[in-house]
Structure formats: C-alpha cells, structure tokens
C-alpha cells in the first residue's frame, strides 16, 4: 500500500449503545496502531422513526447522540442507506447533527452514490465532522453487479470517487455473514492499488474471530481494512459483545503480526 493512503482500520458494525462500544474497545492494547471503525446503522427510514426489518441493529434516531464515544482509536461512522437518493445530502447532514460531536462521518451503503452530493458534503464541512467528514464507499452486491463483478471495471468506477471518499470497502455480504472470496478480493485489491492513490481499501464478508486466517494470503501483499457485522450477532440479532471482543483482539494481533513481519 502506498504511504499516503488513508490509515486502515478494523471495523465492527451494528453498535446500538455506548456501553457496547466501551465494552468492546476495552480489549485493545494501548500500543495498537490500527483505528477501530465503530459502525452505527442508520437508514432514511429509521432517521424518521420508521422501523425497518432489522430493529435490533438500527437504533432509534433520538438515541444516536448517546452512542458514539470519544475513544482515542475510534473512527465513528454512520452506515447509511436510503431509497431516496434525492434527499441524500440533507439526510447525511441531519444524521450527523443528531449523532453529535463524536461522529466522524459516513459509510455509504448505496450503489455508486451521486458524486456531486459527496462533493457538496466535503465542501459543507459539517459542524460535527471532527475528521473533516470521513467517507467510506461501500461496494456491495448491487454495485458489484453493475460492474459485472469485473475487478478492473470496479476499480475504474471507484477511481471516479478519488478525493470524495477516504476508503472503499468491497462488501458482497451486506451484513448477512456470507464469506468473502479471497481470489476475487485479491484481484480487486490489485486493481484498486493501481488505479487509486489516496483511498484506502478493505473487505467485509462473514468475518469473525474464528476465520481471520482467511486474510493471511492478502496480508502478505496488502495493507487493508476489514469490517464485520453478521457473524457478530447472537440468535436474537443483538450484537454479541463477547464475539465482537474476540474478533477485535484477534484481528489486532494478526495485523500487528504482519506489520512487524513486513
């Protein structure tokens, strides 16, 4: 990875309380070098108090200001999705305002969001954007399909978002625990490394403490972010704090091991 790319992170998505966040982040050693991406799910529906099909994962809007904490290693992001793209900028600014001063920006779970909107978001510099409005561009199943799941075409499309997004996350799972494909991810990373300069890149898909060895072939050649959601839920679909702690601790140890080896 080129040295001027955004600093990679270990991500956990689906927090709904500050207590969950504090409990999970407590396992981090003081000498860790990775950010921890703390993901809180918000949709255009839930932003307006309308329940969706994942009530255990999406906090009520009035609770948003109580969730994010000021942990030294946290990258606090709203993971936002919408079926009303014409309201995207207004919704982003509203959600960030409701989430309070510890919110650092967004992951946009939207297939190829309007670049003009992202430029406006960058230019607006929201009051609470303490890290200048960080943006993660999620490339999920729909976005992948629009590019024919061709790594070259995906990277070319991502290149259009250079300077508008800090990270791109290849995420065919969409929070349902489907494991990522190592070979496909490698090809995407090769293309992204050659076609982008400043954006960090990462992968999501079925990650948990028990399968992080699947990252080993990629860690030998790339520095990248990861995110986990679906495999860190319990049978009631609440965040399994113990599973999240085990994943974070194991991921931190594995990344540090490869960083030292390099």
pLDDT band at 6 (very low <50, low <70, confident <90, very high): confident
The full DSSP string for 221-235 is: T---EEEE-GGGB-T
Q: What integer pLDDT is reported at residue 216 of this predicted model?
A: 94
CA–CA gap between residue 143 and residue 146 (Å, rounded): 5
SS3 41: strand
The half-sphere exposure of 229 on its side-chain side, counting CA atoms within 13 A, is 26
8 A C-beta contact, residue 95 and residue 42: yes
- Other beta carbons within 10 Å of 254: 17
SS percent in the chain: helix, strand, coil, step 5 = 40, 20, 40
136-190 residue pLDDT tens: 999 999 999 999 999 999 999 999 999 999 999 999 876 555 789 999 999 999 9
Name the helix (H) or strand (E) containing 183: helix 182-195
CA–CA gap between residue 106 and residue 161 (Å, rounded): 14
46-79 residue pLDDT tens: 999 998 999 999 999 999 999 999 998 999 999 9
Domain ranges of the chain: 9-261
Q: What integer pLDDT is reported at residue 187 of this predicted model?
A: 97
Q: Based on DSSP, count helices (H) and strands (E) in the chain, helices before strands.
A: 8, 8
Query: Among 7-16, 90-99, 165-174, 226-235, which stretch is predicted with the lowest mean pLDDT?
Result: 165-174
8 A C-beta contact, residue 227 and residue 11: yes
The answer on pLDDT for 130 being more than 50 is no
Residues facing 228 on adjacent strands: 12
8 A C-beta contact, residue 135 and residue 166: yes
Q: What integer pLDDT is reported at residue 259 of this predicted model?
A: 74
199-241 residue pLDDT tens: 999 999 999 999 999 999 999 999 999 999 999 999 999 999 9
CATH number of 9-261: 3.20.20.70
What predicted TM-score, i.e. pTM, was given to this entire model?
A: 0.94
CA–CA gap between residue 88 and residue 120 (Å, rounded): 11
The three-state (H, E, C) secondary structure of 56-111, written as one string: CCCCCHHHHHHCCCCCCCEEEEEEEECCCHHHHHHHHHHHHHHHCCCCCEEEECCC
């Amino acid at each position: 990875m080129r040295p001027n790319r955004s600093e990679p992170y270990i991500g956990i998505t689906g927090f709904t309380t500050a207590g969950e966040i504090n409990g999970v982040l407590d396992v981090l050693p003081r000498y860790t070098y990775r950010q921890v991406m703390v993901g809180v799910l918000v949709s255009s529906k839930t932003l307006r108090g309308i329940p969706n099909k994942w009530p255990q994962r999406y906090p009520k809007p009035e609770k948003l200001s109580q969730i994010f904490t000021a942990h030294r290693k946290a990258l606090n992001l709203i993971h936002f999705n919408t079926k009303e793209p014409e309201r995207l900028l207004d919704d982003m600014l509203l959600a960030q305002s409701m989430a309070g001063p510890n919110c650092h920006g967004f992951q946009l779970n939207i297939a190829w969001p309007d670049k003009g909107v992202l430029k406006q978001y960058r230019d607006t510099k929201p009051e609470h954007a303490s890290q200048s409005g960080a943006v993660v561009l999620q490339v999920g199943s729909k976005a992948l399909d629009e590019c024919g799941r061709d790594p070259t075409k995906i990277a070319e499309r991502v290149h259009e978002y250079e300077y508008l997004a800090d990270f791109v996350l290849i995420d065919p799972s969409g929070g349902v625990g489907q494991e990522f494909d190592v070979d496909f991810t490698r090809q995407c990373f090769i293309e992204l490394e050659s076609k982008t300069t400043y954006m960090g890149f990462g992968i999501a898909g079925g990650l948990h403490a028990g399968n992080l060895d699947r990252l080993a072939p990629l860690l030998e050649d790339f520095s990248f972010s990861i995110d986990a959601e679906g495999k860190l839920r319990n049978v009631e679909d609440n965040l399994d704090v113990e599973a999240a702690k085990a994943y974070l601790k194991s991921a931190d140890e594995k990344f540090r091991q490869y960083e030292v080896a390099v």
